[in-house]
């Protein structure tokens, strides 16, 4: 009985002088592991064109049925992506998402990627459906936003890997 009491007290004494392991969030954020999967973004090429070509492969690969894509045709006068089509509507339901990363793996042009941002809470369900405007990264310069007028110009982006911009 006494030995058990002393053993319990020794555990308390051992922890009393240790540094606390809690984080004073949100002033200080706990670093996440390198392979952490959080909020998605839709990436662009260096010339500002959107990477997404509206192929819906991410939607097909998603086990939670969380992605909705509606494609539309590009024209040279109004070009969003280098392909024939672009995503006119792109939505991810963050309530459904299980952050498995299958969408990222399925994308043939590395358009959709998961970042290490994890502050995605909201007060109502509608706000948890992230639209294309919320997901797409800003253009490299304000005048490189989409749609672009590519009549008579070479719009094909470099295929070299582009550094992620977030």
Q: Which residues are near ligand SF4 by CB under 6 A?
A: 52-58, 61-62, 64, 66-67, 69, 87, 92, 97-103, 106-107, 109, 111-112
CA distances, 52 to each of 18, 35, 140, 152 (Å): 50, 23, 16, 22
CB-nearer residue toward ligand SF4: 72 or 98: 98
CB-nearer residue toward ligand SF4: 23 or 42: 42
Cβ contacts of 1 within 8 Å, gap of 6 or more: none
DSSP letter at 104?
H
- Smallest separation (angstroms) from ligand SF4 to the CB of 87: 5
CB-nearer residue toward ligand SF4: 3 or 52: 52
Torsion, CA 115, CA 119, CA 124, CA 127, rounded to 10: -40
- Smallest separation (angstroms) from ligand SF4 to the CB of 107: 3
């Amino acid at each position: 009985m006494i030995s058990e009491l002393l053993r319990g007290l020794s555990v308390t004494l051992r922890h009393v002088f240790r540094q606390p392991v809690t984080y004073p969030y949100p002033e200080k954020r706990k670093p996440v592991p390198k392979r952490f999967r959080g909020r998605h973004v839709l990436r662009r090429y260096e010339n500002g064109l959107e990477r997404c070509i509206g192929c819906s492969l991410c939607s097909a690969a998603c086990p939670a049925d969380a992605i909705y894509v509606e494609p539309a045709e590009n024209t040279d006068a109004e070009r969003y992506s280098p392909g024939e089509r672009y995503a006119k509507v792109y939505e991810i339901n963050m309530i459904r998402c299980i952050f498995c990363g299958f969408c990222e793996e399925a994308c043939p042009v590395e358009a959709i990627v998961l970042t290490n941002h994890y502050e995605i809470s909201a007060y109502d369900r509608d706000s948890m459906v992230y639209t294309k405007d919320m997901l797409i990264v800003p253009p490299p310069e304000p005048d490189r936003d989409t749609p672009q007028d590519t009549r008579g110009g070479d719009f094909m982006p470099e295929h070299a890997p582009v550094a992620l911009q977030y």
